[in-house]
Structure 1
Amino acid sequence: MGPLDALWHLFNFLLTPVGLGLIAASLCKLAWWRPLRAVRWQRLAWPAVGVAVLIQIIFLVWLGRDGRMSTYAAQVVGVALALWWAAFGPRRRLPSAG
């Protein structure tokens, strides 16, 4: 395998978790647009993408194979938890009342 092939393999390996994180952050911002008006899209997207990529790598090492349904299910759950934490978790700064 040449360097270009390795680059394409890495790109395809990361495409699913990055796409899932970006699409989920966009849908979260769209679905809860009023409560998340003050939260920037990047603040939602970075944790979602990071968790999805981390789960992809962990399951590749654990199962020895990429593309298992359990990996994708774990990514969906992990991204949902990361988005909840970033959007509505205890660290969220609420706008002042005054």
Structure 2
Amino acid sequence: MDLLDALWHVLNLFAPALGVGVISAAAAKLLWRRELAGVRFTRLAGWAFAAGALVLLGGLVLLGQDGRMATYGAMVLACALALWCAGFLRRR
């Protein structure tokens, strides 16, 4: 495996976390328009992506391979929790 193949493998590992993070942040901003008016979209998407990426890495380490349904389910829950923390638990 050369360097370009390794780069594609790493990018494809984190692609589901990026997709779920961006889509869930957009849905949260759309559904809770008034409540999340003061929170930037990049903050929500960044927190959701970071949580999803950590879960994907944890699933890779614990289960020995990526792409398991348990890991994807945990990623969705972690993204939801990160969105809730970033959006609704702001310091006043």
Smaller-chain TM-score range?
Answer: over 0.9
Could you tell me which amino acid in structure 2 is paired with residue 69 of structure 1?
A: M
With the length of structure 2 as denominator, give the TM-score of the two structures.
0.94
User: Which runs of structure 2 are paired with 1:1-98 in the superposition (5 Å)?
Assistant: 1-89=1-89, 91-93=90-92
Alignment partners' CA distance in 1, 2:77 and 2:21: 11
State the identity as a percent: 50
Gaps (5+ residues) in structure 2?
none
What SS does structure 2 have at the residue aligned with 1:76?
A: helix
Instruction: Note the C-alpha offset of 1:88.
Output: 1.0
Q: 1:49-92 deviations in whole A, cap 9, x for unaligned? A: 10000000011000001000000000011010110111112x34
Matched length: 92
Structure 1 vs Structure 2 CA RMSD? 1.0
Does the 8 Å CA contact 1:44/1:83 hold for their aligned counterparts?
Answer: yes
Q: Post-superposition, which runs of at least 4 consecutive aligned residues in structure 1 deviate over 6 A?
A: none
Matched residue of 2:53: which SS?
helix
Structure with higher Rg: it is 1
* Whole-angstrom distance in 2 between the partners of 1:22 and 1:48: 8
Residue identity in the other structure for 1:55:
V
Q: Secondary structure at the match of 2:6?
A: helix
Return the TM-score normalized by structure 1. 0.89
